[in-house]
Amino acid sequence: ARKRRRGLIEKKRRDRINRCLVELRRLVPTALEKEGSSKLEKAEILHLTVEHLKWLRSTSGQSRSDVTDYRAAGFQECLTEVAKYMATINND
């Protein structure tokens, strides 16, 4: 009974790993591109995931500055609209 329980626990662990690998394959763009050519090995999926995360890290600084620029532009636009509104109230 103990041996059977260990086997069941190990099977659940392997199934969980496999489900996560399938999810990684679906989430990582480079894995999807390569999948069409042949079935990806688990190690290849993990490798592509690491490469994709490194790429995201290297580009994250650029995207944050873009977000900051949009935020500043939105704030400026809001100030302009409030000033226009205040001008119409003061003229009445």
Domain ranges for the chain, please list them: 1-90
| DSSP structure class, residue 47 | H
- Whether residue 45 contacts residue 28, with contact meaning beta carbons closer than 8 Å, is answered with yes
Q: How confident is the model over 15-32, as pLDDT tens digits?
A: 999 999 999 988 888 777
What three-state secondary structure class fits 40? coil
Class of domain 1-90 as given by CATH: few secondary structures
Mean pLDDT of 19-47: 83
pLDDT of 45 > 80? The answer is yes
pTM for the full predicted model: 0.55
Q: Which two tokens stand for residue 36?
A: 């069409």
pLDDT of 37 > 90? The answer is no
pLDDT of 82 > 90? The answer is no
pLDDT for residue 7: 94
